[in-house]
């Protein structure tokens, strides 16, 4: 049990018992995100970066290199790529990125600084997935069919390259949004971990002082006013009042 001294008027300390508290109001929830939420957001960033990197490599290296080859080589190599890329490692990144982003958006729904960026990343992932499912995969299936390599390539190459660039941009945008969300989340956690300023004995916050006035608790100014009124009614001159000029003696 600790004693707190509060000065209501000069020379009149009032002692009160109870724990020392800080009257200031703090913003925010006061509790940071759980370690699980931070881990899920980190995993979403990693899988999104892997997916965007895969599309980027196709756009800037694989497809330009294949464009230099003949029709038969082009079709055979793309068939091999479409076959070997269907492996657990690629699917873990490609499907894990939107799933982890959606889970992170749910976990951070009460974090205004990060939730908007995570939701934007989720929208970008959904659009990239729709492009893959609606355009790139059907083109891959068409290339796997039989026919003249020149005709198969003509139906495949230009559209596939264009829409691969689109999903690469969308995936890269998702990575940027998730990275921004991670930065905001880290800043929020740092602000919430900062200790509050120490309480000053006898200090009263503005909100508490206003509430005290509403309840009718006499403050320092009211006590002084009552003391001056009592001195005036008893014929005594207040201490802070300057003396007036002396009255003239009779007969002068």
Looking at residue 223, its pLDDT comes to: 60
Ranges of each domain in the chain: 35-192
The torsion angle over the Cα atoms of residues 179, 184, 185 and 190, rounded to 10 degrees, is 130
* Contact (CB, 8 A) for 24 and 136: no
Q: Tell me, what DSSP letter sits at residue 58?
A: I
Tokens 């083109």 locate to 139
Q: Output the CA angle 114-118-124, nearest 5 degrees.
A: 150
Task: Report the run of H or E that residue 107 belongs to, with start and end.
Answer: helix 88-107
For 155-224, give the DSSP string. Answer: HHHHHHHHHHHHHHHHHHHHHHHHHHHHHHHHHHHHHHHSPPPPPPTT---HHHHHHHHHTT---HHHHH
Looking at residue 222, its pLDDT comes to: 63
Q: Output the CA angle 139-142-145, nearest 5 degrees.
A: 155
Nearest to 141 by CA among 125, 127, 155, 131: 155
Task: Give the Å distances, CA to CA, from 35 to 115, 186, 203, 250.
Answer: 16, 12, 37, 92
Q: How many helices (H) and strands (E) does the chain have?
A: 9, 2
Nearest to 13 by CA among 23, 21, 5: 5
Looking at residue 18, its pLDDT comes to: 45
End-to-end CA distance of the chain: 70
Q: What is the 3-state secondary structure (H, E, C) of 116-142?
A: HHHHHHHHHHHHHHHHHHHHHHHHHHH
Nearest to 42 by CA among 162, 197, 175: 175
Looking at residue 169, its pLDDT comes to: 98
Looking at residue 25, its pLDDT comes to: 34
Task: Report the run of H or E that residue 101 belongs to, with start and end.
Answer: helix 88-107
Backbone angles phi, psi at 226, to 5 degrees: -65, -40
The reported pTM is 0.64
- What are the pLDDT tens digits along the chain (252 aa)? 444 444 444 444 444 444 444 433 333 444 556 789 899 999 999 999 999 999 999 999 999 999 999 999 999 999 999 999 999 999 999 999 999 999 999 999 988 889 899 999 999 999 999 999 999 999 999 999 888 999 999 999 999 999 999 999 999 999 999 999 999 888 877 776 677 666 655 555 555 545 555 554 455 556 666 767 666 665 555 555 555 555 555 554
Asked whether the CA dihedral 125, 130, 133, 138 is positive or negative, the reply is: negative
Nearest to 56 by CA among 112, 153, 128, 115: 128
């Amino acid at each position: 049990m600790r004693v707190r001294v509060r000065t209501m008027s000069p020379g009149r300390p009032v002692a009160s018992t109870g724990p020392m508290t800080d009257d200031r109001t703090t913003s925010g929830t006061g509790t940071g995100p759980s370690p699980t939420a931070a881990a899920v957001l980190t995993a979403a960033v990693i899988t999104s970066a892997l997916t965007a990197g895969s599309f980027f490599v196709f756009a800037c290296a694989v497809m330009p290199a294949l464009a230099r080859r003949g029709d038969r080589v082009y079709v055979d190599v793309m068939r091999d790529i479409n076959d070997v890329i269907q492996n657990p490692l690629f699917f873990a990144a490609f499907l894990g990125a939107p799933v982890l982003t959606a889970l992170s958006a749910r976990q951070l729904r009460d974090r205004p600084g990060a939730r908007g960026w995570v939701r934007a990343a989720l929208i970008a992932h959904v659009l990239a997935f729709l492009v893959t499912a609606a355009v790139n995969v059907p083109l891959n299936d068409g290339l796997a069919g039989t026919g003249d390599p020149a005709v198969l390539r003509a139906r495949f190459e230009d559209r596939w390259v264009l829409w691969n660039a689109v999903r690469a941009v969308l995936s890269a945008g998702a990575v940027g949004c998730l990275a921004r969300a991670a930065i905001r989340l880290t800043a929020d956690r740092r602000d919430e971990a900062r200790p509050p300023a120490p309480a000053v004995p006898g200090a009263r916050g503005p909100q508490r002082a206003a509430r005290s006035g509403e309840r009718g608790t006499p403050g320092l100014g009211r006590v002084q006013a009552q003391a001056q009124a009592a001195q005036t009614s008893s014929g005594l001159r207040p201490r802070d009042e300057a003396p007036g000029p002396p009255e003239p003696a009779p007969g002068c």
